[in-house]
Structures are given as structure tokens and as C-alpha cells.
Structure 1
Amino acid sequence: MSKIAAHLQLTDSQRRIELARPWVLVGLYVVAALAGWWWVAVPLAVAVCLAAFVQMHDAMHNALGLSKAANERILVLSALLILKSGHAMQVTHLRHHGRCLSEDDPEGAPANWRFSRVLWQGPYHILTLRRESWKIAPHTRRKQLLETGYTVALLVAFVGLYGFTGSFVGLVYWGVAFFMSATMPIWASYIPHHLAAQNPAARAAAALAQIWTPVVASFAFHHVHHHYPRVPTALLPRAAAELPAPPEHDHHH
């Protein structure tokens, strides 16, 4: 594994790109929103959430090549962009890797449901995950509470921004982030675990992933990620091409 980690790690320039991506997108969102270009701003807000998800996910696995302290900060800040507690998400995600799609895998549960159930129960599942993270890792409760406080403070700031200036910039972003968070069981659990590599959609996604689209890579090479979790999301296409192919059946419903 040491050879894999040494070979498939971010260069300094790649790391700067991975760290900057969601924050550059935030800046672009703010510019577009302040200009009233909502047809541009809303898609940018979605892009922010997806980029933040990738960054948070890589931080969960310490795959960004950062110091422990820096990785902790990135975990907290990137999760805040999607209204999450980074440490709560990390708890259930690492459980998912350890007990993938078992009865004791709350994050992976939607992958075992019928799609209709994912649609109606998925938005409430985020509350289930928070409860489970609280039970699984009680030593992280203080961090989880603090990060929840940050999320509430952010919402209060957005409401205050509207109240004092009439600007919808914060509230629209919060609405988009809430939607992305509520639908996460669909796009981050159900779809990746039902999209086998032989599927035409997965092959198309894999082709797109070659042009540096980390979110697509996380779907197209999900089974690769499960086998090599320390490989950064952006380098999964390279890992899929160069490393021994992992079995898919362990990570697909």
C-alpha cells in the first residue's frame, strides 16, 4: 500500500487545485448572484456543493497529503459548504468502508432500498446518519455539536444578510445546499452502488472523468475508491488504469 500511496498522490499544483476549487466556485457564485444572473448563480451553487463534497470526502480519507491539523480544518470547512458536520460524516463514511452495505452500514442503507423509498425517505436519512454518528463515535460529539453550531450560525448570517440588505445571495445558496444535502442518499449512495463499471452510463462517466471532473470520477470509479480509499478522487481514473482491478460485487447492490 505504501507504493500505491507514493505513486498516486497529488502533486503540489494538483493539491492547490483541489483545495481551491470549491472556494473559487463560491467566489464565482457570489459574483453571479450579486449581478442578478441567477441562471448562472444557481448552477454554480450546485457546483460548489459537489466540489465541497469531493474535498470533504478526500479529507475523510486523509487523501489530500496535508498535515493532520490542516486536514481537520479542510474537513470542517468543506462540510460547512454543504451544511454538514465533517466529523459526523466521517464517522458514518468510515463505517461504510468497513462494513459496506451490511445491516450495520447506515450510510450505505439507501443503496439497498427501492428507488422509490430513496426518493421519499432519503431527505430524512440525513437525520438518521447524524444519530448513528453520535452513537458510533461518542468521542466526536463535541466536534459534531460545534460544527452544527457553525451551520446554524451560517443560516442566521444569511437571514441577517437578507434582513439588512434585501439580498438573496445567502438564502439561495442555503436553499441549494439544503437540496443537495437532502438528496445526497440518491447521488452519493444509491447511484454509485448501482452503477457497475460495465454500465454504459458508467463508461460515459469514466470518459468524462478523464478530463478532470472529480465528482464524476467518484461515481465512475466508486469500486476503485472502496479498494484504494487513500487515492484522491481526482486520481481515481489513473488508479483504475494502473492498479489491479478490484472486485465490483463487494460494493454494488
Structure 2
Amino acid sequence: MDFQLTPTQRRVELARPWVLLGLYIALALAGWWWLAAPLVVVVCLAAFVQMHDTMHNALGLSKAANKRILSLSGLLILKSGHGLQVTHLRHHGRCLTEADPEGAPATWSFGRVLWQGPWHTLMLRREALRIAPNTKRIQLLETGATLALLVGFVALYWLTGSMVGLVYWGVAFLMSATMPIWASYVPHHVSSRNPVARTAAALAQAWTPITASFAFHHLHHHYPRVPTALLYRAATELPPPPEEAHHH
């Protein structure tokens, strides 16, 4: 079965986080912070989905274009896209074993995820460098870019008084620090039969970011090259995989 994005679908998937980012900037400049600040969360989730699809080369892009989008979408959520790709592919290959640093929070208690999760995000950067030292240069460049953003946003505030950059960086930092909760613990603990997952599956047909990632996480583990936007269709057309190996 063909689970490739159409050209129109690909353009939508590529544009989504950047259109949302533009909307955030417009709302922030207008002073509508009650809408702008929560929208950063949506931007980060959309960026996460785009980054995740590029990790698996699922968007149908050339190798060079895929690498660029991986770096840029990772930057939106203050991550090294190539670093996360290293640990994520290890997660798929050795899911929830001792050799799977990304999946470790899924094996912890929720309390431990809360207090140790932010440190775990930093540890993953170290692990990515250890696992794939051949990508050290691009990983360090991407990490440096996230810090450069902070410096630039501080300078923007110092020179103009604008909080647009700092608010974005602050919310994105919180999303990044809590990723072990919403990108590791929750997907591996919520069965597709759970009412919340069923609701997410229904919503996924209209809104790709994160709802499909949660609703069809077990399916993604078996069919990683299926784009997130098409997981809802794959769920109806592909043989259902067992969930036990991916849940605790």
C-alpha cells in the first residue's frame, strides 16, 4: 500500500509550524499575549511532528532537504534535530531496553519523570554524541544555534524592549524540558483502546500534530516510514500490531 504524501499534503506538512510561528509573531507584536503565549505550545508540537517525520525520512524529501528541515524544525523546539534522530532511531531499534536512553522515562514512575525529566533531556544530548560521534559537528552546531537564539532574543529585548523572542524561547524551553513526559512517558502508557487515545485518533484526521503521535504511537513503531499525517489511514488499512512491546 502506498502511504506517501501528495505534493499538496507535503506542502501543508512543511508549512504548518512556520505558518503558526508567523501567527505567533503577529499576535505577540499586537500585544495579544493571552493568545500568543499558548500558541507557542502549538508551534512546538507542530515542529515536533515535522522533526519526527524527518527523522524517519517520511516526508518524501531529498536527502539534503530532509537534513535541512530536520535541523530547522529541531531549532523551533530548541533541540538538535540530528542529535534527537540518533537517540530516536536507537529507541526504535532497542525499544525500552537498557540500550534505549530515549525510552527510559517510559519505564520510570511518573514522579521520577517529573523531577528527573529535565535533566534527562540534557543527558540525551550527551548520549547522542556518544552513539553517533560521526554527527558531532552538526549536533554541536545545532546546539549552538539554540543558545544563539537566546542571546539574540536577550539582545532584542535589551535594544527594543520587545519580549517576542524571550517569551517564545521560554515556552519552547519548557516544552523541551518536559518532552520526557509528553513524548515518552504518555505515549508508552496510554493504550490505543483508552478513550483519550480514541478521541485523539478521531481528531487526527483533521489535525496532524501530536494527536496522531499519541493515538497511533504503537502503529508508528511498526510502520515508522508512514508520515504522521497518514497514520490515521494506515490504522484502518494495515494489519494492527501488538501494543504490549511498547507499553508499560
Task: Indicate the residue corresponding to 1:248 in structure 2.
Answer: 243
How far did residue 41 of structure 1 move?
A: 0.2
Secondary structure at the counterpart of residue 210 of structure 2: helix
Secondary structure at the counterpart of residue 4 of structure 2: coil
1:155 and 2:150 correspond: yes
How far did residue 223 of structure 1 move?
A: 0.4
Cα distance between partner residues in 1 of 2:193 and 2:168: 36
1:136 and 2:131 correspond: yes
Task: Indicate the residue corresponding to 1:98 in structure 2.
Answer: 93
Cα distance between partner residues in 2 of 1:174 and 1:156: 10
How far did residue 214 of structure 1 move?
A: 3.0
Q: Which runs of 5+ in 2 are unaligned?
A: none
Aligned counterpart for 2:189 among listed residues 180, 186, 194: 194
1:209 and 2:214 correspond: no
Task: Indicate the residue corresponding to 1:11 in structure 2.
Answer: 6
Runs of 4+ in 1 over 2 A off after TM superposition: none
Aligned counterpart for 1:34 among listed residues 29, 38, 49: 29
Deviations 1:109-149 (A, max 9, x none): 00000000000100111111011111100101111111111
Deviations 1:18-72 (A, max 9, x none): 0000000010000000011001101111111000000000000000000000000
Q: Is the 8 A contact 2:120 2:180 kept in 1?
A: yes
CA RMSD for the aligned pairs?
0.7
Q: Normalising by structure 2, what TM-score?
A: 0.99
**Identical counterparts, % of pairs:** 77
Task: Indicate the residue corresponding to 1:122 in structure 2.
Answer: 117
Aligned counterpart for 1:79 among listed residues 74, 78, 88: 74
Cα distance between partner residues in 2 of 1:123 and 1:161: 27
Task: Indicate the residue corresponding to 1:220 in structure 2.
Answer: 215
Deviations 1:133-166 (A, max 9, x none): 1110010111111111111111111011001000
How far did residue 244 of structure 1 move?
A: 0.6
Deviations 1:187-211 (A, max 9, x none): 0000000011111111111111122
Q: Is the 8 A contact 2:45 2:209 kept in 1?
A: no
Cα distance between partner residues in 1 of 2:226 and 2:7: 15
Cα distance between partner residues in 2 of 1:52 and 1:199: 26
Aligned counterpart for 1:51 among listed residues 28, 38, 46: 46
1:20 and 2:28 correspond: no
Residue identity opposite 2:109 in structure 1: R
Q: Which runs of 5+ in 1 are unaligned?
A: none
Residue identity opposite 2:134 in structure 1: H
Secondary structure at the counterpart of residue 20 of structure 2: helix
Q: Is the 8 A contact 2:208 2:228 kept in 1?
A: no
Residue identity opposite 2:72 in structure 1: L
Residue identity opposite 2:30 in structure 1: A
